[in-house]
Amino acid sequence: MKFTIKRDLLMAAVQNVMKAISSRAVIPILSGMKIEASIHGIKLTGSDSDISIESFIPSEENGNVNVENIEPGSIVLQAKYFPDIVRKLPQDTVEFIVDDNHQVQISSGKAEFTLVGQSAEEYPHLPRIEADQSFEMPIPLIKNMIKQTVFAVSTMETRPILTGVNMHLENNVLNFTATDSHRLAMRKTTIEATEVEFHNVVVPGKSLNELSKILDDAEETVEISVTNNQILFRTKHLSFLSRLLDGNYPETSRLIPEEKKTSITVNTKELLNTIDRASLLAREERNNVVKLTTEGNSVVEITSNSPEVGNVHEEIVVESVEGEDLKISFSSKYMMDALKSIEYDEITIDFTGAMRPFVLVPKEDDSILQLILPVRTY
Instruction: Supply the DSSP string of 220-277, one letter for each residue.
Output: -EEEEEE-SSEEEEE-SSEEEEEEPPPSPPP--GGGS-S--SEEEEEEHHHHHHHHHH
Distance CA(28)–CA(189), nearest Å, equals 41
Q: Based on the number of CB atoms within 10 Å of its own CB, is 233 exposed (0-12), middle (13-18) or buried (19 or more)?
A: buried
Position 249 in a domain = no
Q: Based on the number of CB atoms within 10 Å of its own CB, is 37 exposed (0-12), middle (13-18) or buried (19 or more)?
A: buried
* H or E element, residue 18: helix 7-18
339: DSSP letter = H
- The percent of residues in the chain predicted with pLDDT above 90, rounded, is 80
Residue 366 sits in the same domain as residue 261: yes
Q: How many residues does the chain have?
A: 378
The residue range of the domain holding 72 is: 2-122
Q: What average pLDDT score do residues 361-372 get?
A: 94
Confidence of residue 284 (pLDDT cuts 50, 70, 90): low
Q: What is the pLDDT of residue 286?
A: 62
Position 89 in a domain = yes
Q: What is the pLDDT of residue 285?
A: 60
pTM greater than the 0.75 cutoff:
yes
Q: Give the mean pLDDT of the chain.
A: 93
Q: Which of 183-187, 306-310, 355-359 has the lowest mean pLDDT?
A: 306-310
What amino acid is encoded at 103 in this protein?
A: Q
Which neighbouring-strand residues pair with 226? 231
Distance CA(163)–CA(145), nearest Å, equals 16
Residue 87 sits in the same domain as residue 142: no
Q: Is the pLDDT of residue 21 over 90?
A: yes
The number of domains in the chain is 3
- The percent of residues in the chain predicted with pLDDT above 70, rounded, is 98
Domain boundary among 82, 99, 122: 122
pLDDT tens for each residue of 186-237? 999 999 878 889 988 999 999 999 999 999 877 789 999 998 789 999 999 9
What amino acid is encoded at 347 in this protein?
A: I
Q: What is the pLDDT of residue 378?
A: 60
Q: What average pLDDT score do residues 111-117 get?
A: 96
Residue 267 sits in the same domain as residue 302: yes
Q: Is the pLDDT of residue 24 over 70?
A: yes
Residue 357 sits in the same domain as residue 303: yes
What amino acid is encoded at 172 in this protein?
A: N
In a 13 Å sphere around the CA of 28, the CA atoms on its Cβ side amount to 4
Q: Is the pLDDT of residue 377 over 90?
A: no
Confidence of residue 293 (pLDDT cuts 50, 70, 90): very high
Which CATH number belongs to the domain containing residue 204 in this structure? 3.10.150.10
**Does residue 329 contact residue 346 with C-beta atoms inside 8 Å?**
no
Residue 237 sits in the same domain as residue 209: yes
